[in-house]
Structure formats: C-alpha cells, structure tokens
Structure 1
Amino acid sequence: MRPWFIIVPKIPANAMALFPFILLKNKGQKADPVLINHERIHLRQQLELLVFPFYLLYLFNYLVNLIRYKNHYLAYFNIVFEKEAYACDHKPLYLRNRPFFAWLKYC
C-alpha cells in the first residue's frame, strides 16, 4: 500500500498516520526512510484492526500508561503500537514479512 502524504505544518507530532494518510510537518520528511517506515507500520496496524478499533486501543493504552508512569513521554513510548514501530522502523523490508498482529508481542 502506497500512502498519501499531507503536509500539515502545525500538527502536534513530528508525523502522524491517519489511515490512509501520513501527515508530515514539511515536504522534506518524505525523504526520511525511517520516519516513513515508522508511519507505514502504523498504517498496517490500523488496517489490521479495521482502523477505528486501532484508535480506541491506542488511546486506551496511552491512558493506562499515563496512569502507570505519570509521564506523557513514558506513556507514549510504552504504547504497544509505538514499541513495534520504533523497534522495526529502521528495517526497510519489515512490512514485507511482518506477521499479522505483530504488535501483540510488545504487550
């Protein structure tokens, strides 16, 4: 699946995957293979969870982590979907062989 890019200079994150789009702060980020792979991993996660449930699980996981760690950054980096994306974003061929529901091993 080839993502559609939208440039949104004022998004609160460096980049964001909102199926089927990848939102970026600037055009130059399109050339960052690690960033794009990270967001493409999120698109795959969203697709396998039929999009909307992904957002619910993502938010729920973040809120549980926020209670657990009492820190936004720790809560964010411990979201299971982020753990998978950060662990594999530097592997350009990861999505070709990624097992279905691979994020579960990061729970």
Structure 2
Amino acid sequence: MLDDGGPYWTAPLPIDRKDLAPSIRREIDRQAERKSFKSYVVQIYEEPAGKPTGMFEIAFNPKSHMACAIYEAETEAERSSQRVVMETDPLWFSASDPEDATDVFFQTLGACAGET
C-alpha cells in the first residue's frame, strides 16, 4: 500500500481459482505448471474509508515466481447511465510473492498510463 495518499489497496486475499476472471484462467491453462498457481484478489480504494474503486486479480506461481494479473473497475457507459465492468488484458511479469506482484502490477499500470 502506498503511504503518500491514494490509491490504497488490501493485502492479496486468497480466492479459489474458479473465481478468477476467465481471461486469467485461460492464460494459466496454457502453462505447463498450471497447478502451481495460487489465486488472489486485491481491492483498490481511492480513499481509505471509501468503497472499492477497482480490483486486481492475480495468479501467482511460487515455484517460477511468475504472475499474471488484470485490473477491473466498474464505470458508467458513455452514452447511458448503465454501469459496466472494464478489465485490462492479462499481463505476465515476475514477482517474488503475491505482495510484490501487487506492487509490480500497480507500477506497470502507472507506467502504461504515462505516470511514474
């Protein structure tokens, strides 16, 4: 979690593999060590007392130190008042543990958005 203002996030919370987004499950199924992946969700907050504004879904392999993650957020559709869930494509990267995977993924998303 960052110390200099939002965003804030929870520790990675273990979830069942079946609860991961289909896009991550497809990525994992292509891996030789697919049974070694552990699944996590991390809730993202803009304000500490606010409600979640998004989440990371992370699959982490402790043997290979590889992770696959997506970011999901609910938003309003442009030309209607309907809420829709937006999600990034799965991204692969190396990490030392689920907490490191969260940090690396956050930094990568910031770099992709042009923030450093």
Higher helix share: 1
TM over 0.5: no
What's the TM-score, normalizing by structure 1?
Answer: 0.34
- Whichever of the two has the greater Rg, that structure is 2
Higher strand share: 2
